[in-house]
Amino acid sequence: MSWPPTRPRGAGRPEREYEKVAAPKKGRSASAQGKPGRSLALILIAIAALTGGMFASGHTTPRLGIDLAGGTSITLKAKSGQESAINKTNLDTAVDIMERRVNGLGVSEAEVQTQGDRNIIVNIPKGTNSQQAREQVGTTAKLYFRPVLTTELANPPASADPTPSASGSPSKKADGTASPSSTATSSGSATPSATATSQGRAVTDALKADATTSPSAAQSASASPSAKASTSADASPSANGSDAAAAKLQQQYATLDCSDAAARAKTGVGAKPTEPTLACGQNAQKQWQKYILGPAEVAGTDVKKAQAVYDTQGAGGWKVTMDFTSAGTKKFASITGKLAQNQSPQNQFAIVLDGEVVSDPYVREALTGGNAEISGSFDQTEAKNLANVLSYGALPLSFEEQSVTTVTAALGGEQLNAGLIAGAIGLALVIVYLVAYYRGLSLIAIASLLVSAALTYVIMSLLGPTIGFALNLPAVCGAIVAIGITADSFIVFFERIRDEIREGRSLRPSVERAWPRARRTILVSDFVSFLAAAVLFVVTVGKVQGFAFTLGLTTIFDVVVVFLFTKPLMTILARKKFFADGHSWSGLDPKRLGAKPPLRRTRRPSAPVDPKEA
């Protein structure tokens, strides 16, 4: 330690200035010298752990996109019955929604496109759970919150044959509606008023009078009579003659057998959201229950976001929570406020998904929090799928699967191999260049690149099963460019060190002085890349989002590797004689770098930077 002895040499102002500047420097370099081993160990352990995790999970290669690995192709055909609804606009909307359902994060490389004028092709890369994907794209996901007018357990003994004819009429009626979702919103916008009577009027205004009189009557009347409400509801409109439909509904209800799958499938098909309908659903005891439901009060379009959560309290199990939009929140508060005043079963509302009641909670008070949850007998996958389809909205059309077939990679294997060979040659040239220019230092650069590559590979492999990440060709090319950006961090650092050596410093102080400046440059410039990645990931959808994800990932790796690997390794190697003495092959030879000997001579005796590193 020659540092204290330098002080008495001159107690003037410059010395104090030196002390001021150098003291924190000493602190930092001391800590940096204690750290490098730890950081190196940290990152190596992290990589080892991740690699172990990768082998343990059994996914040792990244999942490849459909362009590289092929996959499954599903052809969906829009169901007839709503001929006028099958048009380009609705098909395009359906493509967008399906795309987001199967490719929520933009990283799974699924492709959705229209074919002809009524088909949609969904291509899913190999290794995806195609069964799950098929469920996701096929589910229409029309969600409605309807008040329960009456409900009872399904009666198995009832004969099944009247049901098909009965359910025929509502479905025929539905043919007239052009776009169910838009009707739902218009009825919704009319509802938020507080009192039951005004609500009834609003609905009446919005719709044809015949159907709506029955539910509004049921609701205004429901305060005093309890279970009879529904009967009175259909009794009164049947008097004015215009609605055989309501009576028919009651009659169908009497004969409906929900335990029969065929009957269930036809129940409530094509029901207008603005009309009362029949529905089936399973209760907590797994018994089928049948319902007459009022017009939809809140629709799936009012759901802003849905999420699958595991219910740790109470009964446990998976459930789906929903956040409503502000309009949806108002509507939901209004309906729950009204229902809370009713008696069972009219204090219940049914959550109807694609015609089936998935949940029928009762309401004690108005729910103004803007969220709701669906608890049913879900397992994790079901809950996640449901949350997923609810988040991205209902399809404007129903689809049936026409064919499912495998497809090979869109890029020829030979061409791909040729491309990879070319890329490898390019990489070899990079290494040759680095070795030729940086000599010994290139060891650090190459080791850092290897660490970076290992980290990228392992994380990408692990992201395959967890978030469905799939690597496509553009992403591979992007990773190649990322080599340039990662290498740039080392180059900036090395050039700073060399500049310091040219100033006449010896290696160790040079490293410690060069690092803060290189660090700032690296952080500032990587922040720009990360900003690009973050903005694009949040705002965009589809492949652009997938690209943003990869860019963000490689940028973070760049910073992690430089901080936890390159710098500590440099610090450690700076202690080695080979580098510290400036061996001509170390890449840090002061003579080769053109450091001026006189400069060194004049500095060395007084150079305070050297001793304080000791």
Binding track over 40-79 against another protein, x by CB under 8 A: ------------------------------x--x------
Q: Which lies closer to another protein via its Cβ, residue 203 or residue 536?
A: 536
The nearest distance, CB 257 to another protein, in angstroms, is 40
Neighbours of 49 (CB within 10 A): 11
Residue 58, classed as helix, strand or coil, is coil
Report strand pairing: 277-282 vs 356-359: parallel
Query: Does 19 participate in binding another protein (rule CB under 8 A)?
Result: no
Query: 165 Cβ partners below 8 Å, 6+ apart?
Result: none
Binding track over 78-97 against another protein, x by CB under 8 A: -------------xx--xx-
The nearest distance, CB 26 to another protein, in angstroms, is 14
How many residues does the structure list for the chain?
Answer: 614
* Both tokens assigned to 269: 């098909």
SS3 content of the chain, % helix, strand, coil (to 5): 60, 15, 25
* Both tokens assigned to 2: 């020659």
The nearest distance, CB 596 to another protein, in angstroms, is 7
Binding residue for another protein, selected from 201, 517, 575, 600, defined by CB under 8 A: 517
- Of 38-46, 116-124, 345-353, 394-402, the segment contacting another protein by CB under 8 A is 116-124
- Of 280-288, 311-319, 429-437, 572-580, the segment contacting another protein by CB under 8 A is 429-437
Neighbours of 316 (CB within 10 A): 9
Binding residue for another protein, selected from 211, 533, 562, 569, defined by CB under 8 A: 533
Between residue 168 and residue 227, which ones bind another protein under the rule CB under 8 A? none
Between residue 305 and residue 324, which ones bind another protein under the rule CB under 8 A? none
Between residue 26 and residue 45, which ones bind another protein under the rule CB under 8 A? none
Q: 353 — phi, psi (to 5°)?
A: -115, 120
* Both tokens assigned to 361: 């909670």
Q: Which lies closer to another protein via its Cβ, residue 129 or residue 417?
A: 417
Query: Does 526 participate in binding another protein (rule CB under 8 A)?
Result: yes
Residue 157, classed as helix, strand or coil, is coil
Interface with another protein: number of residues (CB under 8 A): 99
d(CA 507, CA 499): 11
d(CA 549, CA 295): 43
- Of 114-122, 309-317, 340-348, 387-395, the segment contacting another protein by CB under 8 A is 114-122
Q: Which lies closer to another protein via its Cβ, residue 119 or residue 255?
A: 119
The nearest distance, CB 421 to another protein, in angstroms, is 7
Query: Does 279 participate in binding another protein (rule CB under 8 A)?
Result: no
Q: Which lies closer to another protein via its Cβ, residue 255 or residue 540?
A: 540
Query: 566 Cβ partners below 8 Å, 6+ apart?
Result: 444, 445, 448, 489, 490, 493
- Of 40-48, 198-206, 253-261, 527-535, the segment contacting another protein by CB under 8 A is 527-535
Between residue 378 and residue 417, which ones bind another protein under the rule CB under 8 A? 405-412, 414-416
Residue 280 pairs with which residues in a beta bridge? 290, 356
Residue 607, classed as helix, strand or coil, is coil
Nearest to 26 by CA among 409, 349, 508: 508
Cα 338 to chain centroid distance, Å, stands at: 36
Q: Which lies closer to another protein via its Cβ, residue 49 or residue 535?
A: 535
- Of 119-127, 144-152, 371-379, 563-571, the segment contacting another protein by CB under 8 A is 119-127
Helix-helix angle 380-392:88-102, to 10 degrees = 140
Query: Does 592 participate in binding another protein (rule CB under 8 A)?
Result: yes
Alpha helices in 349-472 (DSSP H): 380-392, 413-438, 440-467
- Of 196-204, 338-346, 383-391, 595-603, the segment contacting another protein by CB under 8 A is 595-603
Q: 120 — phi, psi (to 5°)?
A: -130, 130
- Of 155-163, 201-209, 317-325, 496-504, the segment contacting another protein by CB under 8 A is 496-504
The nearest distance, CB 441 to another protein, in angstroms, is 11
Q: Which lies closer to another protein via its Cβ, residue 121 or residue 233?
A: 121
d(CA 409, CA 251): 56
Residue 109 near residue 127 (C-beta atoms within 8 A)? no
Query: Does 556 participate in binding another protein (rule CB under 8 A)?
Result: no
The nearest distance, CB 91 to another protein, in angstroms, is 8
- Of 77-85, 168-176, 232-240, 520-528, the segment contacting another protein by CB under 8 A is 520-528
DSSP secondary structure string for all residues of 438-484? HTHHHHHHHHHHHHHHHHHHHHHHHHHHHH---B-HHHHHHHHHHHH
Residue 501 near residue 595 (C-beta atoms within 8 A)? yes
Query: Does 542 participate in binding another protein (rule CB under 8 A)?
Result: yes
Query: Does 112 participate in binding another protein (rule CB under 8 A)?
Result: yes
Q: Which lies closer to another protein via its Cβ, residue 17 or residue 83?
A: 17
The nearest distance, CB 492 to another protein, in angstroms, is 6
The nearest distance, CB 23 to another protein, in angstroms, is 13
d(CA 355, CA 140): 10
Query: What's the count of helices (H) and strands (E) in the chain, helices before strands?
Result: 25, 13
